[in-house]
Amino acid sequence: MARALRLGAPPMTLTSISFNFTIIEEEGFRVYHEPYTLYPYFMLKWIEIDLKLIGANVRAVKKELRPGVALMAVVKEDGYGHGALETAKTALANGADMLGTLTLEEAAILRRKGVTAPIAALAPAPAGYAADFIKFGIIPTADSLDFIKALDAKTPAGCKTRYYADIDSGLRRWGVQPEDFPAFLEKTLKYKKAVPAGISTHLAYAPRKNMIEAEEKLSSFRELGNRAEKFYPGLKLHAANSAVLCDFPHWQLNMVRIGNLLYGLYPSRVYLERTKGPPIKGIERPWKFYARIISIKKVRKGESLGYASDYIACKPMTIAAIPAGYADGLTLEPSEKSIKLSAGQAYWGMIGGREAPFVGRAGIAHTLLDITGIPDVQTGTPVLLPVRRTAASARIPRIYK
């Protein structure tokens, strides 16, 4: 049996190949590694995802919900970078009632991987996709009569296909305009096989800012929902995402759709800065991106470093290189944007609880850090890095624990 080692950790054992991934196991971790990437003898960068914390976050959200309020766990964009399948299974095992993706494609992948729970695709699709929603048993979001007509036509006789009718509350991305919704609703009545499962909307709401406007929009949505329920009893009404749940817990209606909070992310720092603490307690971050130091150099005062030599050391410095750059999602900026003294230190890694500022330009596959004064640093030392989770490269191995 093949073996691979990891610096500073017990040996890993290559156990099997499944679908498109090589599965490596180590002390309960699972590493999904794409087969076309050469697996190194020493893992130099990786992402750790603690599924126990995601489960705890789901339970923390559930505690805030009134009896009878359903929880849709949103796993769009590969579960916000955490892995849609692993996140979906964890959310369902900890009390989520259904799943939400952005597109039919995301939902179909979950179906093919064995997920049988209800799944809603939250973005509308062209009418030509109606048959595929039925094939995979996915609840579509509809804001056009053409789509509903196609859904009705493709539904077999004696069956019903459910959809969510979406209302535009000001975000202007999709949805029926509120003033047009009563007429839209009346026109749906002629379709007997395609019927709404619920009504949805997404507020253009910034946490703790446009609260009066948001309250008015929610009230208007509730009125439209009441009107729809006269024609279609038992509808699920959902407008509350993470921000709305935090600031308007009384507007849970009978379903909430939550993404950020499940992944340990409050929608804004304002919730963490409140003297009485965040509105929903027990939310923890389950995601960490690490890279190991592969080189350490001494730089004298006045010497330059990095691309274009546009970072000048103002003092003797110790510089470390890590094999992670903007191709991995680091800094989210193109290489011509550098981090200079005049701009301040915009990014840094963490080594043993100490900040190590980025210096010079981030390259496609490397970044330099100032480790001056940080003790016990050597090649192989892991650095905890700030990367937007949805931008982290899919090439980086994910380790689940």
- CATH at 181: 3.20.20.10
For residues 39 and 56, state if they share a domain: no
Q: Tell whether 279 is covered by a domain.
A: no
- Asked if residue 276 is part of any domain, the answer here is no
Q: Which residues pair with 13 in a beta bridge?
A: 3, 25
What domain range is 126 assigned to? 51-271
Please indicate, yes or no, whether residues 23 and 125 belong to a single structural domain of this protein.
Answer: no
Examine the domain organization and report whether 167 and 185 are in the same domain.
yes
- The H helix count followed by the E strand count for the chain is 9, 24
Query: What pLDDT digit, counting tens, does each position of 190-245 carry?
Result: 999 999 999 999 999 888 788 999 999 999 999 999 999 999 999 999 999 999 99
Choosing from 76, 154, 217, 236, which is the catalytic residue? 76
Asked whether residue 77 falls in the same domain as residue 181, the answer is yes
What is the crossing angle of helices 51-64 and 84-93, to 10°?
Answer: 50
Helix, strand and coil in the chain, % to nearest 5: 30, 30, 40
> Within this chain, do residues 179 and 146 fall inside the same structural domain, yes or no?
yes
* pLDDT number for residue 272: 65
Cα pseudo-dihedral 305, 309, 312, 316, rounded to 10 = 20
> What pTM, to 2 d.p., does this model score?
0.85
Condensed to tens digits (0 to 9), the pLDDT of residues 360-388 reads: 888 899 999 999 999 999 999 999 998 88
In this structure, are 105 and 188 located in the same domain?
yes
Q: Is 212 exposed, middle or buried (0-12, 13-18, 19+ CB in 10 A)?
A: exposed
Same domain, 182 and 299: no
Longest dimension (CA), the chain: 80
> Active site includes 340?
no
Q: Tokens at residue 370, please?
A: 């100032």
| Residue 370 sits in the same domain as residue 226 | no
Give CA–CA dist 159/172, Å, rounded: 33
Q: Say what the pLDDT of residue 12 is.
A: 36
Same domain, 255 and 115: yes
Domain with 332 in it: what CATH number? Answer: 2.40.37.10
Give a three-class secondary structure readout of 130-145: HHHHHHHCCECEECCH
Residues 23 and 101 in one domain: no
Domain identity same for 33 and 55: no
Spatial distance between the Cα atoms of 22 and 50, rounded to a whole number of angstroms = 20
Establish whether 288 is a catalytic residue: no
Catalytic residue (one of 307, 337, 340, 401):
307
Q: What pLDDT shows up at residue 47?
A: 93
Please give the tally of structural domains in the chain. Answer: 3
